[in-house]
Every structure is written in structure tokens, then in C-alpha cells.
Amino acid sequence: MAEAFSGGCGCGAIRFVCSAQPLAIFNCHCRDCQKASGAPFISAMAVPSAAVTITGQPKYHSVRSDSGNTMSRGFCAECGSSLFARISGRADAIGINLTSLDDPNRYHPTMDIWTSSALGWVHMDPSLHKLAKGPPPH
């Protein structure tokens, strides 16, 4: 399979390659993304899980999402980089944080989701589609 893009964590212990183009690209302003990333929102893409090859061992932390699914976030236990998100109701897709790509400018978010919990000082691009709540991916 041809490589569409690659990336990894800050220390290099975890690397990934993806052979497919993103299914969706978004900024998620939900509280869970804020807490997990330490940033006002996460910019991420959903890609088909079968297209992603991960090397290294991400540590996963699971929480119950608003939809009742289990949301598992993968991060590097060495350097703490937030990398992946898996959701129990969507085994066919995996979320990848845009900031972990080797070329983080390669894809641009097309929507803001969970804007109902967006922080008041965050300036969102008015041209992007807005969803007060999910999906994707929650």
C-alpha cells in the first residue's frame, strides 16, 4: 500500500504510517479533548483503522464518552505526546492528532465540533462548518 502520511510522538518511541486519506478532519472542542491534550482543542483526523500501522507501544486511557461509547486515547508513555483516539462503536476508524504528523500542515481541519464547550478566548475560523456537539468522533 502506498504511504499517504506518517508521524509519531515527540521522542520517537512511537511511529505510524497511514496508507489512506482522511475520512474527516476536525477541531474538537469537547472537554475531554481539552483535558487529554492540555490545549484548548484537538485537531485530528479520522482514518480507516486498517490503513494505519503503528510501531511502538502507545498507552491507552479509556473514558466513557457522552454517547455511551468507550473512548480510548493513545499516548506515548515516555514523552506524553497525545496521538490516537479509538471509540468502541467505531472499530473501523481511528483518530490521529494532526500535530503528530511529520508534515502537520498537510491536512487542514474542515469543521469545528463540540463548539458548545469551546473556550471563550479561542478564535475559530468562521469559514469552517460548526457543530455544537459531535460527531465525529464521539
Single residue of 1, 11, 119, 122 touching Zn ion by CB under 5 A: 11
Q: 43, 109 in Cβ contact below 8 A?
A: yes
Cα distances (Å, whole numbers) of residue 44 to 1, 110, 115, 136: 22, 10, 15, 10
Nearer to Zn ion, 2 or 60 (CB): 60
> Could you say whether residue 13 binds Zn ion (CB under 5 A)?
yes
Q: Which is nearer to Zn ion, 21 or 57 (CB)?
A: 57
Q: Quote the least distance from Cβ 130 to Zn ion, whole Å.
A: 14
Residues that bind Zn ion (rule: CB under 5 A) add up to a total of 9
Determine if 30 is a binding residue for Zn ion (CB under 5 A).
yes
The answer to whether 106 and 89 are in contact (CB under 8 A) is: no
Q: Which of 18, 25, 36, 76 binds Zn ion (CB under 5 A)?
A: 76
Q: Is 33 in the site for Zn ion (CB under 5 A)?
A: yes
C-alpha 111/C-alpha 133 separation (Å) is: 12
Identity of the amino acid at 125 = D
List all residues 6 or more positions away from 6 whose beta carbon is below 8 Å from its beta carbon.
15, 16, 17, 18, 101, 102
Q: Which one among 78, 90, 99, 128 touches Zn ion, defined by CB under 5 A?
A: 78
Q: What residues make contact with Zn ion under the rule CB under 5 A?
A: 9, 11, 13, 28, 30, 33, 76, 78-79
